[in-house]
Amino acid sequence: MMLKASKIRIYPNKTQERLIIKTMGACRWIYNQYLGYNKEQYALGNKFVSKYDFDKLVTQLKKTDERYSWLIGVPTKAIKYSIRTAESAFKRFFKGLSSYPRFKSRKDKVNSYYFIRDNIHFDTGIKNRIKIPNLKSIRITQRNQLPDESKIVSGRVILDHGKYFVSFIYETDRESKVINSSGIGIDLGIKNYLSISDRYDNYYYINNFIFDDKYQQYESKIKRIQQIISNKVNINYKRLETEYTKEKGVPDDKTKNILKRRSYDTSAIRKLQNKLSSLHLKKANYSKDWVNKLVYKIAKTKPEYITIEDLHVKNMIANIKNSEDNHHKLHDYIQKSMFRYFRTRLEQKCYECNIELRIANKYFASSKKCSKCGHKKKDLTLDDRVYICEDCGLIIDRDLNAAINLCNLKKYTVI
């Protein structure tokens, strides 16, 4: 058995919207209260307060403290899970796995709350409605993506840039292992997103989505709106600065920062910011959809194994920025290409389809090693797009050479 997630768009009415926003606000508030309470206890020299102790404290305060009384009626499971999440954030910080947990803001574009499997019912007849805890009957459109009710473990209600979704976590069986006789090696790149080769010298390339016309249109629109917002903010700031100077004299640095914040507070700029947020969401959805379809296409061929490099995107970007060449926009292309998301989805799909995913050592020089004789070309640079072997005379595309080396790799880690 394995766990999968299904995310479905929902269309709540006004009453349900208010209930969703109240629940999300309660979860965010209790999360911040837990962080703040532990911070106070640390300053006083007291012990760390666990999620169990704080949950008991909240239960008492709801009955005695007016500040907590408004939590009555909010689903207790959502509150408990929010406290649990805050405790996990502290534990990751104590282990050195993440930075100090930050307080959540009501301005965050993505919010959610947790619910359990109780009282879930699907009615996919003419009305296309489902029942989930606390919200009762709610309208959907993607009924073909609903999982089996009996296999649902938990779920979340999500508010993402003004749109509402429900995500179900459910159990499912792994696919039977029907495989192709050939394994493949995959080399990730910028111009060619993937260079794929198998052990029988069959290969093909897949171009990067960031150069697609649709993606470039999103980029152009975002850039244009950012320029308009910047111009409007500058005009508003100069007007506010002039008015302040006439009344009270030249503003100091603190006052200038206040005026800069006020220069964003107009209805025209808020509308543009909402439009900008919507475009960022569309661009992100386009990128994720492209990667998901690509991973499905690769897994559909049922190879015996897939070998990829152990890429560390943060290190790649840092190395490019610190290098003497500092290739123009290369680090920006790497960030936009969603290599980490591709690997995560590939790991999940390989597990579902019973495909062996092999990870090369991060120090394995797949591009510098000759795929024919094994000679290592140490002076190979990023500008060298064709690999020319000095020993055997092999002339081959750099990315294809790396893909062949990955396909034939003998030492690897299986995920």
Domain end position, chosen among 242, 262, 285: 285
For residues 52 and 24, give the distance between their C-alpha atoms in angstroms, rounded to a whole number: 21
Which range in 95-109, 155-169, 222-236 is most confidently predicted, on average pLDDT? 222-236
Q: How many domains does the chain have?
A: 3
Q: Classify residue 53: in a domain, yes or no.
A: yes
Percentage of residues of the chain with pLDDT beyond 90? 48
| Residues 6 or more apart whose Cβ sits within 8 Å of residue 261 | none
The model's confidence at residue 3, banded by pLDDT at 50, 70 and 90, is confident
Structure tokens at 275: 């439009």
* Residue 309, in any domain of the structure: yes
Examine the domain organization and report whether 257 and 366 are in the same domain. no
Domain that holds residue 409: 184-206+298-414
**Is residue 325 domain-shared with residue 343, that is, in the same domain?**
yes
Tell which of 172, 194, 222 closes a domain: 172
Residue 177 lies in a domain: no
Q: In the structure, what pLDDT confidence band is assigned to residue 65 with cuts at 50, 70 and 90?
A: confident
> What integer pLDDT is reported at residue 314 of this predicted model?
65
For 76-151, where are the E strands, in sequence order? 110-116, 121-123, 129-132, 136-140
226, 104: one domain? no
Residues 333 and 403 in one domain: yes
Q: Is residue 304 part of a domain?
A: yes
- The DSSP bridge pattern shows strands 395-397 and 386-388 to be antiparallel
**Mean pLDDT score, 224-249:** 93
Tell me the two tokens of residue 35. 């962080």
Do 53 and 155 fall within a single domain? yes
179 domain residue, yes or no = no
Q: Are residues 195 and 60 in the same domain?
A: no
Whether residue 14 is contained in a domain is answered as yes
* Spatial CA neighbour of 407 closest among 115, 187, 97: 187
- For residues 219 and 342, state if they share a domain: no
Task: Name the pLDDT band for 380 (thresholds 50, 70, 90).
Answer: confident
The percentage of the chain sitting over the pLDDT mark of 70, rounded to a whole number, equals 93
Residue 323 has pLDDT above 70, yes or no: no
The DSSP letter of residue 194 is E
- Do 258 and 388 share a structural domain? no
Domain boundary residue among 224, 258, 285? 285
Q: What is the pTM of this model?
A: 0.79
The answer on 16 and 86 residing in a single domain is yes
For residue 315, what pLDDT band results from cuts at 50, 70 and 90?
low
